[in-house]
Amino acid sequence: MKKKGYHLRFRLNGEENSLDIEAGISALELIRDIFELKGTKEGCGIGECGACTVVVDGKAVNACLMFAAQLDGRDVLTVEGLGIGDRLHPIQQSFVERHAVQCGFCTPGILMSTHALLAENANPNRAEIVKAVAGNLCRCTGYQNIIGAIDAAAHRLSKEK
Ligand code: FES
Ligand code: FES
């Protein structure tokens, strides 16, 4: 049986999009398979690991748990939309400088959780940082450098204002 379609309009990394999709596909499939933005990772596929984290209307969400159709009319940011041209976003720069990346599988999701955190709270304390990335699992770093990088990014961004 042919699956029902859905017409989707949404903004992705600053660009308006209008396309027909299968109604049952996830936001993660839309981003990775249709738009071929492979920075958003699929880890568990069930909302446990945070590898698929993207920012929707300013909030960090697990793309594996959303239907693509739920993005209708919304504004989506993925890791590919963070940098400006060839320049890394200040959050990315802090992750590099603080050695907060090892294998990198978790990194895009953590960057997006960080982006949502700092947009809402420019000066988070350690507990707030830990809470913001609690849904992002990292099997490599032990988290200390990630937390340090997020703190450094907050300072860097506040100086740029
Ligand atoms: S792939 Fe979405 S939370 Fe793990
Ligand atoms: S850097 Fe490898 S999972 Fe986080």
**108-128: pLDDT as tens digits:** 999 999 999 999 999 999 999
Which of 41, 48, 98, 140 is the pocket-test mutation for ligand 2 (most atoms within 8 Å of CB)?
140
For residue 106, give Cα distances in angstroms to 42, 58, 74, 130, 156. Answer: 10, 20, 24, 15, 22
According to the model, what pLDDT value does residue 160 have? 83
Residues in a beta bridge with 87: 84
Q: Select from 3.10.20.30, 1.10.3720.10, 3.40.50.300, 3.10.129.10 the CATH code of 5-79.
A: 3.10.20.30
Tell me which CATH homologous superfamily contains domain 90-160. Answer: [2Fe-2S]-binding domain (1.10.150.120)
CA of 77 to the centre of ligand 1 (A): 16
Q: Which ligand is nearest to the CA of 100?
A: 2
Sequence ranges of the domains in the chain? 5-79, 90-160
Residue 60, SS3? strand
According to the model, what pLDDT value does residue 3 have? 63
pLDDT digits (tens, 9 = 90+) for 5-44: 889 999 999 999 999 999 899 999 999 999 999 999 999 9
pLDDT digits (tens, 9 = 90+) for 38-70: 999 999 999 999 999 999 999 999 999 999 999
Instruction: Tell the residue nearest (CA) to atom 2 of ligand 2.
Output: 103
Instruction: Tell the residue nearest (CA) to atom 3 of ligand 2.
Output: 138
